[in-house]
C-alpha cells in the first residue's frame, strides 16, 4: 500500500493563486522521491499539504491510509517528519532539546510545559543524534552550529519522531556542495536502512540523478513528469522548466517600443 497518496489534490490560496491543480500521486515506502519544478510551480505547497501545514481546497491527502483532517492532524504528523530549507530550529534551545521536539507529539502538554521528558525520549533523541553524527554537540545551543550541522539536527529531529515519511523542502538550498552531498547521503541512507519514504524538493538535476529513485516534475501545479531518474533527458528537463509567460524584460521592451 502506498504510504502517501493524494487524489485530485488542488490548492488555491486566499489571494486567488492556484498553486496546485488536481495532483494524484501514490508514494511508496523506502523510496527516495525527488520533486523538480520551476519556482512557483507548487513544490513547497505540495509538501506542506502532505504535512497538513496547508489544507487542500479540493481533493485529499492520505498518510498510511488515514485521510488527513483537522481532527487527526497531530496524530498523523507523528508519522511524517519534516526538514526545512532554513532548518527552522529553535536557536535558543540546545541541540538535545531541539531533537526532543520530535517527541512532543507523543507526550502530554503538562510535562512539556516544564520542558521535562522521559528517559526513553532521551534515548531515542540520543540515538537520532548519533545517527547524524552530532552526539558530541548535544548540549550546545542550536544557533551556534554551522548550517550543515543545523540541517543534520533538523534530520535528527525528524528521526526522533520515528516517522514513516520524511519530507524535505529544499534541504540543501542553503548549503555548500560538500555539505549538500553529506546531507542528501544521510537522507538516502535513512531511506534505505529504515524503509522510510523520503520526499525532497530539489533544484539541482545532477543531485536528482545521483540520489532519486523516482522523479516527479511539476509545472504550474500539474504533474508533467513521473518516472525513474534515468528517463530524465535534457529534453524532458526543458519541458519541466518551461515557462508559459513571456519574460518580463521583453514585455518591458515592447512597452518602450510602443511609445517610441
Ligand X SMILES: Nc1ncnc2c1ncn2[C@@H]1O[C@H](COP(=O)(O)OP(=O)(O)OP(=O)(O)O)[C@@H](O)[C@H]1O
Query: Which residues make up the interface to ligand X (CB under 6 A)?
Result: 13, 15, 17, 19, 37, 39-45
**Residue 36: burial class (beta carbons within 10 Å; 0-12, 13-18, 19+):** buried
Cell 534530520, located at residue: 155
Shortest Å, Cβ 222 to other proteins: 25
Taking CB under 8 A as the criterion, the residue among 9, 20, 89, 223 binding other proteins is 89
Least distance CB 259 / ligand X (angstroms): 30
- Contact yes or no for 135/126 (Cβ under 8 A): yes
What does the angle CA 42 – CA 32 – CA 199 come to, to the nearest 5 degrees?
30
10 binds Mg ion (CB under 5 A): no
Report residue 226 as a C-alpha cell: 513521473
The single residue among 74, 118, 209, 251 that binds other proteins, judged by CB under 8 A, is 74
Three cell numbers, residue 177: 556542495
Q: Write the DSSP symbol of residue 68.
A: P
Of positions 6, 33, 44, 151, contacts Mg ion by CB under 5 A: 44
Specify the 3-state DSSP secondary structure of 32. Answer: strand
Shortest spacing between CB 130 and other proteins, in angstroms: 5
In the complex with other proteins, the residue whose CB is nearer, 111 or 177, is 111
C-alpha 211/C-alpha 59 separation (Å) is 30
Report which of 78, 24, 71, 91 is spatially closest to residue 51, judged by C-alpha positions.
78
Which of the choices Mg ion, ligand X, other proteins, none does residue 135 contact, using the CB cut-off of 5 to 8 A by kind? Answer: other proteins
Residues of the shown chain interacting with other proteins in the complex, contacts defined by CB under 8 A = 51, 53, 73-78, 81-82, 84, 86-94, 96-97, 101-102, 104-105, 107, 109, 112-113, 115, 123, 126-127, 129-131, 135-136, 138-141, 143-144, 154, 157-158, 161, 193-194
Residues of the shown chain interacting with Mg ion in the complex, contacts defined by CB under 5 A = 44
Amino acid at each position: 500500500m502506498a504510504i502517501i497518496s493524494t487524489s485530485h489534490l488542488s490548492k488555491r490560496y486566499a489571494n486567488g493563486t492556484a498553486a496546485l491543480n488536481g495532483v494524484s500521486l501514490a508514494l511508496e515506502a523506502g523510496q527516495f522521491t525527488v520533486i523538480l519544478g520551476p519556482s512557483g510551480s507548487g513544490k513547497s505547497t505540495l509538501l506542506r499539504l502532505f504535512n497538513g501545514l496547508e489544507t487542500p481546497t479540493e481533493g485529499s491527502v492520505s498518510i498510511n491510509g488515514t485521510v488527513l483532517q483537522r481532527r487527526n492532524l497531530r496524530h498523523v504528523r507523528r508519522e511524517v517528519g519534516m526538514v526545512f530549507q532554513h532548518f527552522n530550529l529553535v536557536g535558543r534551545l540546545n541541540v538535545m532539546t531541539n531533537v526532543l521536539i520530535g517527541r512532543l507529539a507523543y507526550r502530554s502538554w503538562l510535562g512539556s510545559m516544564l520542558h521535562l521528558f522521559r528517559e526513553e525520549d532521551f534515548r531515542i533523541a540520543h540515538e537520532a543524534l548519533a545517527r547524524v553524527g552530532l552526539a558530541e554537540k548535544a548540549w550546545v545551543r542550536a544557533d551556534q552550529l554551522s548550517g550543515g550541522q543545523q540541517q543534520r539536527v533538523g534530520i535528527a529531529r525528524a528521526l526522533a519522531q520515528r516517522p514513516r515519511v520524511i519530507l524535505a523542502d529544499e534541504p540543501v538550498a542553503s548549503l555548500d556542495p560538500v555539505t549538500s552531498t553529506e546531507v542528501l547521503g544521510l537522507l538516502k541512507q535513512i531511506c534505505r536502512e529504515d524503509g522510510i519514504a523520503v520526499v525532497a524538493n530539489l533544484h539541482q538535476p545532477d543531485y536528482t540523478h545521483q540520489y532519486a529513485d523516482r522523479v516527479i516534475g511539476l509545472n504550474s501545479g500539474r504533474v508533467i513528469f513521473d518516472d525513474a531518474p534515468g528517463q530524465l533527458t535534457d529534453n524532458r528537463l526543458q519541458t519541466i522548466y518551461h515557462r508559459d509567460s513571456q519574460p518580463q524584460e521583453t514585455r518591458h521592451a515592447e512597452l518602450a517600443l510602443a511609445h517610441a
